[in-house]
Amino acid sequence: MIPQSVLKALNQQIQKEHFSAYYYLSMSAHFQSANLAGFAHWMRKQYEEETSHAMKIFDFIVERGGRVHLEAIEKPEGEFKSPLDIMQLVLEHEKKVTASINAVYELAVKEKDYPTQIMLEWFIKEQVEEERSAEDTLNMLRMIGDAPAGLLMLDRQLASRGS
> pLDDT tens across 105-147, in order?
999 999 999 999 999 999 999 999 999 999 999 999 999 999 9
Domains held by the chain: number: 1
Looking at residue 119, which CATH number applies to its domain? 1.20.1260.10
**Residue span of the structural domain in which 121 resides:** 4-159
pLDDT of 41:
98
* Separation of alpha carbons 29 and 88, rounded Å: 17
* Separation of alpha carbons 23 and 18, rounded Å: 9
* Separation of alpha carbons 80 and 26, rounded Å: 9
Whether 23 shows a pLDDT value over 70: the answer reads yes
Find the mean pLDDT for residues 8-28.
Answer: 98
Whether 52 shows a pLDDT value over 70: the answer reads yes
pLDDT of 161:
85
Q: Look up residue 26 and give its amino acid.
A: S
pLDDT digits (tens, 9 = 90+) for 61-117: 999 999 999 999 999 999 999 999 999 999 999 999 999 999 999 999 999 999 999
Whether 163 shows a pLDDT value over 70: the answer reads no
